Structure formats: structure tokens, C-alpha cells
A and B are shown apart, each in its own frame.
Chain A
Amino acid sequence: MVLHTVSAGPGLADCLALAAPDDALLLLGDGVYSAMSGSDTAAALEASGLPLYALGQDVLAAGVSAYLLASVTVVDFDAFVALTEAFSRQLNWP
């Protein structure tokens, strides 16, 4: 069980290629843009079937709240920490 954190756009494809079904994905920084509904990257996120999370402060900063996929759970830092505790491993994709 790996919590993948994607903090830049280009990391997403590499991450999705390796992620296993019991992993989850948390979008940070510029990574939040990849969950904008209707985009190619959003389609890839949905197709992955992975639980999807995005860090709230980065979503707000980017101004993409209204555009996010409905399947994305927006989390605060406390929930981010809880996720890192729930998964045995974490891998950042810079």
C-alpha cells in the first residue's frame, strides 16, 4: 500500500503506470491541475480507479475548486498526515 504524492504535472503518467490497485494518490502543488474535469489527465485519474485526494490549500491557491473531479476528496494538512499514517509507504513524484 503506497500513498503516491504528485506535486507536478508530468509526474502523473509515470505514477499511474506503476501504481497498484491498493494504492492511493494525493495531488499537491501544481499536481492539483491534473484533476480538472474534462482534461486528459482527469480521465486518466478516473480510469485508474485509485482513491484520489487533493491538498485544500493548493486547490484554493490554484482556483480550481469548482473544476475538480467529483471523485477527488479535498483534504487539509491533518488529513494529509492521517493518510501518511494509514499507508505503509509514501512515494513523491516530483
Chain B
Amino acid sequence: MSRSTLLVFRHSPYGSSLARAGLDLALAAGAFEQPVSVLFTGAGVLQLLQEQDTGSLGDRNYGKNLSSLPLYGLESLYVDEVALSRHGLSKTALPDAYSPVDLQFMQHLLATHDHLVGF
């Protein structure tokens, strides 16, 4: 039986290489049909902004990549609702597949996945 993994994303998209590493792991896990959930908290919620335009940066666009995670078989996608409001965002800013969750639900995620990987 496959063991479940929770990825915790908490860094902004372009300030470090962590967001890229996290996205790579998410896509790889999806490609190998591993049970993976993703939680965005802290500044990680900024990865989900739909207005990202990386044309002049030459980097990949996290907003677009993350919106398409369900196409790669990743459907358990959660966002810290408190972190959202701390960054002046509401759930209407989120791509369709992402669910805002509260503290109790996040602690449940940490307690029930076999592996936890922070980015």
C-alpha cells in the first residue's frame, strides 16, 4: 500500500528555490500516482496568485502550474485561511481546485499523513 505524503509550502514563489523544489516533488509524485496532499501556509499562499506574469523573469509561472495540479492527479489541495487573510487575500483569489481550511483541519492533515515534507 502506498504511504501518504503531505507537502507544506510556505515560501513565496520567486524569492528562493524552495517553491520550485516543492512543485517538482508534487508533479513527480502525481506522475507516479503516489497519494500526495499539498498545504499552503504562511507566505506560501502567494504562490497561488493568478496574476503572476513571469515573462520578463524567465522563470516558470507558479500560478499557472499550481492551477493545473489536478490534471496531474493531485486533488487534495489546501490553503491556510488565516494566512490568506494575513496577506490580504480571500478565497476568491484561489484557483478552483483549492480549498481554504482552518487550524483544526491543518493539524488533522499533519497527524494523518505518513510523511511530511516542508518547503
Contacts and interface: CB of A to CB of B under 8 A. Distances in A.
Given A14-B10, A94-B118, 10 more contacts: A14-B42, A17-B82, A18-B103, A18-B110, A20-B107, A20-B110, A89-B111, A89-B114, A91-B8, A94-B11
B18 interface: yes
A81 B58 CA distance: 41
B42 A20 contact: no
Interface of B: 8, 10-11, 18, 41-42, 82, 103, 106-107, 110-111, 113-119
A20 B103 CA distance: 10
B40 to A, nearest CB: 11
A94 B18 contact: yes
Nearest to B39: A18
B113 to A, nearest CB: 8
A10 to B, nearest CB: 8
23 contacts: A2-B110, A2-B111, A2-B116, A11-B118, A13-B42, A14-B10, A14-B41, A14-B42, A17-B42, A18-B103, A18-B106, A18-B107, A18-B110, A20-B107, A20-B110, A89-B110, A89-B113, A89-B114, A89-B115, A91-B118, A92-B117, A93-B10, A94-B18
